[in-house]
A = this chain, B = another copy of it.
Amino acid sequence: MKQLNIALLGYKFMGKAHSYALMATPFFFKTGIQPVRKVIVGRNEGPLKQAAENFGWEEYSTDWREVVRRDDIDAVSIVTPPTVHAEQIIEAAKAGKHIFCEKPFTVTVEEAERSLEAVNQAGVKHMLGFNYRRVPAIGLAKNLIESGRLGKIYHFRAVYLQDWIMDPEFPRIWKLNKAIAGSGSHHELCTHIVDLALHLVGRINRVVGMEETFIKQRPAEAAGEQLATKLTAEKGATMEEVDVDDTTLFMARFENGAVGTFEATRFASGRRNHNRIEINGSKGSIVFDLENMNRLQYYNADDPQDVQGFRSIQVNEDCHPYISAWWPPGHGIGYQNSFVNQYADFFQAIADDTPCTPDFAEGLENQKVLEAVTNSIAADGWQEVG
């Protein structure tokens, strides 16, 4: 059993999710790698120290540059805001560390290109946190498509709907600040459905997008508060500009002839985390909804005519991706399992010295689509990707 000493950059929601996954992965998946929660890194010492204790880290540090260079660190997991990803990736790569980076990969295509170049030069493993690929239902969808059971793909349609900032009194936290977040719903949510599109359907050639910011000013965040869904502004807080999108929508043409629609929003009342995709092919269709993540709906056009219909498949069988490592059939898994499955694949790639997927090259392709949409909005018309 090889020990892998990890440094985790970031300690909030994603910091918790990654810490959990680092703990739980070796329990379920015997990859030959034993991850060690070595150092957790952040800027605010008080809550950082607390996170280190809560999440089981040996040390904490406020100096990421120093940490990523430490000889006793083997791999770096980056879960910071996207505007700093590229810099952190490049430093960690220079230091020869394997890198796991949360989505969105970067803010710009140029950053993505430099990041990819850095890991390629360093020869380290690199993987991106598009965790929904690791939901067994998506794994099954991939299998159905790759084995030809959906036939030729005609349609991809995806929405990623949330509603956590609909209250106008919700403060202007960092996710609503372009200087830190880089973008709003587009980079945070569209990047997920773009990843599923690229993974399941293939390359995107052309896009046309639109965006809207429904609430253009919000009260400043009360000092010291962290990201949460029920934040409050200080009484009499000054109003600040929201300079990111509340919603971004676009249409796309895929290289293989399919057409696609994409929509991300934080203003869909009642939709907490509604990542829903539907794919229609010449031989069948699939529907996935993250709010019902143990299910895949599947229509097989070759079923006898009198019993055709969408099947609601409980993707909890031993024959389904990842499930045999978990529980017997019919015992559903949750959000956190996708992070464990993800690290299992990352560790296995390190153990076997095989490529990761999705890697930074796939992330670059994703970033090109996002940027083409952004350019399309600026230009008010269609844009080619890349």
Q: Is A100 an interface residue (CB 8 A)?
A: no
Q: Are B157 and A257 in contact (CB under 8 A)?
A: no
Q: Are B17 and A214 in contact (CB under 8 A)?
A: no
**Interface majority SS on A: helix, strand, loop or mixed?**
mixed
Q: Are B249 and A267 in contact (CB under 8 A)?
A: no
Query: How many copies of this chain does one complex carry?
Result: 4
* A300 to B380 CA separation, bound complex (whole angstroms): 35
* A113 to B114 CA separation, bound complex (whole angstroms): 57
Return A319 CB to nearest CB of chain B, in Å. 5
Q: Are A299 and B269 in contact (CB under 8 A)?
A: yes
Using C-beta atoms within 8 Å of the partner chain, give the interface range for chain A: 35 or more
Most B-side CB within 10 Å, residue of A295, A320, A328:
A328
Q: Is A84 an interface residue (CB 8 A)?
A: no
Point out the residues of chain B lying under 8 angstroms from A263, CB to CB: 157, 261
Return A294 CB to nearest CB of chain B, in Å. 8
A268's partner among B17, B19, B54, B155 (CB-CB below 8 A) is B155
Given contacts A164-B329, A327-B336, are A284 and B270 in contact (CB under 8 A)? yes
Point out the residues of chain B lying under 8 angstroms from A250, CB to CB: 251
Q: Are B309 and A270 in contact (CB under 8 A)?
A: yes
A301's partner among B19, B269, B314, B335 (CB-CB below 8 A) is B269
* Residues of A164-217 contacting chain B, CB below 8 A: 164, 166, 208, 210, 212, 214
Q: Is A311 an interface residue (CB 8 A)?
A: yes
Q: Is A24 an interface residue (CB 8 A)?
A: yes
Q: Are A310 and B270 in contact (CB under 8 A)?
A: yes
Q: Are B313 and A265 in contact (CB under 8 A)?
A: no
A272's partner among B247, B293, B329, B381 (CB-CB below 8 A) is B329
Chain B residue with the shortest CB-CB distance to A381: B381
Return A333 CB to nearest CB of chain B, in Å. 4
Chain B residue with the shortest CB-CB distance to A211: B259
* Residues of A287-333 contacting chain B, CB below 8 A: 291-295, 298-301, 303, 305-314, 316-320, 326-333
* A336 to B335 CA separation, bound complex (whole angstroms): 11
* A282 to B170 CA separation, bound complex (whole angstroms): 14
* Residues of A15-33 contacting chain B, CB below 8 A: 17, 19-20, 23-24, 27, 30
Chain B residue with the shortest CB-CB distance to A380: B382
Point out the residues of chain B lying under 8 angstroms from A305, CB to CB: 317, 319
Return A257 CB to nearest CB of chain B, in Å. 7
Q: Is A253 an interface residue (CB 8 A)?
A: yes
| Interface set of A (CB-CB < 8 Å, partner B) | 13, 17, 19-20, 23-24, 27, 30, 54-56, 140, 143-144, 150, 154-155, 157, 159, 161-164, 166, 208, 210, 212, 214, 228-230, 247, 249-251, 253, 257, 259, 261, 263, 265, 267-274, 278, 280-285, 291-295, 298-301, 303, 305-314, 316-320, 326-337, 380-382
A-B contacts, 13 of them at CB < 8 A, read A27-B56, A208-B251, A229-B318, A230-B318, A269-B281, A269-B282, A269-B284, A270-B309, A272-B314, A312-B312, A331-B336, A334-B336, A334-B337
